[in-house]
Amino acid sequence: QLQLVESGGGLVQPGGSLRLSCTVSGFAANSYTIGWFRQAPGKEREGVSSMSSNGDTEYLDSVKGRFAISRDNAKMTVYLQMNSLKPEDTAVYYCAKGRFSNRNLTPLAPHEYDYWGQGTQVTVSS
């Protein structure tokens, strides 16, 4: 059964850090692009970062230099390290599996992904 499970969200003060985890099952995390997305109340879901099967990465402009995506193949887990967090980073964060296997693509458009986790809340507030 194909599944993605996020964890690591929480409440953090502005300037703080969090590391989100996306643990996958039913497929190999390094065989598909994995993306991180977020959705704030009243806003559309937006792509934050992605990593292709060969390790290429992409980031939303507003998180470049602050967020970093990485992967541990043995643990079947993709991480999103978030530093220098801002109130505008507050959202539910989701990870998702890309539609195509073994392609070196790093899309940030939600329609390029077919399986999604349940999401984890990140709140940045003092």
Asked whether 22 and 115 are in contact (CB, 8 A), the reply is no
Distance of alpha carbon 120 from alpha carbon 78, whole angstroms? 14
Query: Residues 82-105: pLDDT tens digits?
Result: 999 999 999 999 999 999 887 789
Structure confidence at residue 103 (pLDDT):
79
The answer to whether the CB of 111 falls within 8 A of the CB of 50 is: no
Burial of 113 (C-beta count, 10 Å sphere; 0-12/13-18/19+): buried
- Cβ atoms 95, 38 nearer than 8 A: no
User: How confident is the model over 25-71, as pLDDT tens digits?
Assistant: 999 988 999 999 999 999 999 999 999 999 999 999 999 999 999 99
